[in-house]
Structure 1
Amino acid sequence: MKTIKAALLSYGMSGKVFQAPFLELHPGFELLGSWERSKKLIQEDYPQVKSYESIDEILASDVDLVVVNTPIDTHFEYAKRVLEAGKHAIVEKAFTTTVAEAEELAALSKEKGLKLAVFQNRRWDSDLKTVRQILLDGALGEIVEAEFHFDRYNPLLSPKQHKETVNSGSGILKDLGPHLIDQALYLFGFPKAVSADIRTTRENSVVDDWVDILLYYPDFRVRLKASFFVREPNPAYVLHGKNGSFLKPRGDVQEDDLKVMKKPNLDSWGTEPLEKEGFLHTEIDGKIMHGKIPTLKGNYYDFFDGVYNAIINDTVEPVTAQDGARVMQIIEAAIQSSKEKRVIDL
């Protein structure tokens, strides 16, 4: 098996929790190390790797793939430097801060013949995989409406300054919003129009922390909501079709397991507890179905396997730069809609 040498541009939560464990697990990757500006932590978890002093040191090395997992407002600058240096790239969500930046990176990667993937790991959550299977099976009939939530109860401001100061990458719309938007586009395609309401609700907050986006499709609607003031959670996924309904609480265990340093695997990883199963009430071939539905396993490994195959076998990236640009189109339309209080045609 050919080996892809990979490096991270940060070893905060994203690198430590979501990326390094899967780069270590996949036999096709060799983790070289991470750029670490102050705290030198990566060698505590991976003694064989290097703590780089700068992005220049990484780009001057024999690295093949660089993970751009720095604050959102730096993604464009660093991803462009990575591509210009002839390296493949994975860029954390939100991909960029504008559609123009996303399209420039997409064009640059194509010009250079390099692979550029957006880290939308939530496509491989157990929840979303199960919802997708319900839709593929046609269990609900023609869809009438869907509502996705990414809610938390956390009224306190984040200690991470880049998340709580006004900059081009801050706010819930560009933090949790890209997960919800990407999932909707992945399942339903690109909508015809967008309306949105974006608010600031936490005391002393200067960035948006509540969002309600409505995507207009020809025959159905999809609502996307995120808030920090949901103490009693709504179902994360609610879908109503002409034959029935499916409700699914958020139950993917991967983030919580990774935070306590559990090592991912290809066997039992991503298995939800039974109490998090979704509820299906529908009619199929004249038979009423009314009860819990087993949840598919989630595994972020599949994203990295997709990146490996894209680089080695020249397949399409698991989440493309164009996918990232489409998410940014929705975000820009949502900002315009909230500001002008009107529906924005796409």
Structure 2
Amino acid sequence: MQLVKAGLCAFGMSGKVFHAPFLKEHPGFFISAIVERSKEESKEKYPSAKIYRSIEEMLQNADIELVIINTPVQTHYEYAKKALEAGKNIVVEKPFTVNVSEAEELVQLAEEKRLFLSVYQNRRFDRDFLQVHKILNDGKLGNIKEAEIRFDRFRTMPSGKQHKEDPDQIGSGSLHDLGAHLVDQAVQYFGYPEKLFADVFSMKGAEFANDYFEILLYYRNNVRVRLKSSVFTKEDHYAYKIHGDKGTFLQERTDNQENELVAGAIPVYGKEWTQPLKDTDGILNILNENAETERILTSSEAGNYMNYYQQIYEHIVFGYDLPSPGKEVIQNMKIIDASLESTKEEKIIKL
């Protein structure tokens, strides 16, 4: 099996949970380098990886083909550009960048260098997202009329992470953080909207970055898609509500990969590794061919973030489609930028 040498730009939560475990367990990857500015925490689990004290040092000296840009979003543009100029293929953590212009410049640079740029949209590999995708593809809901996608939390106290909560830092706040997932899912399900109206602000107060957003996406044929997130939601809602002219589908957010990884779970290559679902997590309520109501409790199948890196590997080795290419995710950045503009101008923004 061809071996792809990879380097991680940081070893914080993202590196420890979402990237390093999968790169280690996938037989096609080898973690050759990790950037830790002052510590050496990676040595225990990844002793074969050489520790570098800066990204510049790693890019100059490490024998790597793939670089994972998993630093704060405010640094994505700078480090991604340096990696591309050093001749490296890159995976950039979500959100891609802080604005559209940065994203477009990076995509253009990658094309000029004949390198690939993928954005780590791992929620495309959540069990709940995949279940909704399956229901939509089955066509049992008929023509879709309305949808709502939520990602709520109950985090009323500040986290202390300045790059996420300082309102003066571009790219901070829930819109770029959780909104990067919800916008991506809406575009994957329904395509690029014609226009939008958004309400983005901080429930904790003006001294903090936005922690609440509601985005109404307008599609052709009078279809409406609402994206919403709040950090003052103690009781869970259905994360997905899809309504068509033949029925409704409700889906809970039940993917637990992140929690299991944080607790120390080791992903397994080539098979499911998460804990099985104990209960049903969805409701399909439709009219059948006889115009009779069928109410069906559904269970989603396991998701697997390993599939993201499997697709990265297959792109490198076999030339298969690249998962979430930067050029595609530029659309998401346009929606995020337009949502901020809509909030500021208090008006509908055409896309």
User: Normalising to structure 1: TM-score of the pair?
Assistant: 0.97
Deviations 1:32-91 (A, max 9, x none): 131111232111222222221111222122100000010001000100110110000000
Runs of 4+ in structure 1 over 4 Å off: none
CA distance in 2, matches of 1:151, 1:206: 18
Identity of aligned residues (%): 45
- Hey, what does 2:53 align to over in structure 1? 53
CA distance in 2, matches of 1:51, 1:272: 36
Deviations 1:260-298 (A, max 9, x none): 110012333245523252111112433532121120210
Q: In 1, are the aligned partners of 2:284 and 2:298 still within 8 Å (CA)? A: yes
What are the within-5 Å matches in structure 2 for residues 81-160 of structure 1?
81-160=82-161
CA distance in 2, matches of 1:305, 1:188: 25
What are the within-5 Å matches in structure 2 for residues 200-279 of structure 1?
200-203=202-205, 205-219=207-221, 220-265=223-268, 266-279=270-283
- Hey, what does 1:305 align to over in structure 2? 310
Deviates most, 53-62 or 125-134: 53-62
Unaligned stretches of 5+ residues in structure 1: none
DSSP-derived class of the 1:262 partner: coil
Deviation at 1:232, TM superposition (A): 0.7
Unaligned stretches of 5+ residues in structure 2: none
DSSP-derived class of the 1:225 partner: strand
Paired residue total: 346
CA distance in 2, matches of 1:271, 1:313: 32
CA distance in 2, matches of 1:203, 1:39: 35
DSSP-derived class of the 2:265 partner: coil
Q: In 2, are the aligned partners of 1:126 and 1:270 still within 8 Å (CA)? A: no
Deviations 1:193-223 (A, max 9, x none): 0110011111574211100001111121110
Deviation at 1:131, TM superposition (A): 0.3
Would the alpha carbon gap of residues 276 and 54 (structure 1) be closer, same or farther in structure 2, given more than 3 Å must change?
Answer: farther
- Hey, what does 1:285 align to over in structure 2? 289
User: Normalising to structure 2: TM-score of the pair?
Assistant: 0.95
Letter in 1 for 2:282: G
- Hey, what does 2:38 align to over in structure 1? 38
Would the alpha carbon gap of residues 205 and 289 (structure 1) be closer, same or farther in structure 2, given more than 3 Å must change?
Answer: farther
- Hey, what does 1:335 align to over in structure 2? 340
- Hey, what does 2:189 align to over in structure 1? 187
Q: In 2, are the aligned partners of 1:141 and 1:241 still within 8 Å (CA)? A: yes
DSSP-derived class of the 1:275 partner: coil
CA distance in 2, matches of 1:97, 1:276: 38
Q: In 2, are the aligned partners of 1:250 and 1:276 still within 8 Å (CA)? A: no
- Hey, what does 1:317 align to over in structure 2? 322
CA distance in 2, matches of 1:345, 1:151: 27
CA distance in 2, matches of 1:131, 1:258: 24
Would the alpha carbon gap of residues 119 and 331 (structure 1) be closer, same or farther in structure 2, given more than 3 Å must change?
Answer: same
Would the alpha carbon gap of residues 157 and 204 (structure 1) be closer, same or farther in structure 2, given more than 3 Å must change?
Answer: farther
DSSP-derived class of the 1:333 partner: helix
DSSP-derived class of the 1:258 partner: helix
CA distance in 2, matches of 1:312, 1:111: 21
Out of 171, 174, 180, the residue aligned to residue 169 of structure 1 is 171
- Hey, what does 1:8 align to over in structure 2? 8
Q: In 1, are the aligned partners of 2:280 and 2:298 still within 8 Å (CA)? A: no
Deviations 1:130-180 (A, max 9, x none): 000000001211101110001000101012222122211211111111000
Q: In 2, are the aligned partners of 1:251 and 1:272 still within 8 Å (CA)? A: no
CA distance in 1, matches of 2:272, 2:324: 25
Deviates most, 312-321 or 135-144: 312-321
Q: In 1, are the aligned partners of 2:202 and 2:208 still within 8 Å (CA)? A: yes
CA distance in 2, matches of 1:272, 1:255: 14
Would the alpha carbon gap of residues 274 and 288 (structure 1) be closer, same or farther in structure 2, given more than 3 Å must change?
Answer: farther
DSSP-derived class of the 2:243 partner: strand
Would the alpha carbon gap of residues 276 and 85 (structure 1) be closer, same or farther in structure 2, given more than 3 Å must change?
Answer: farther
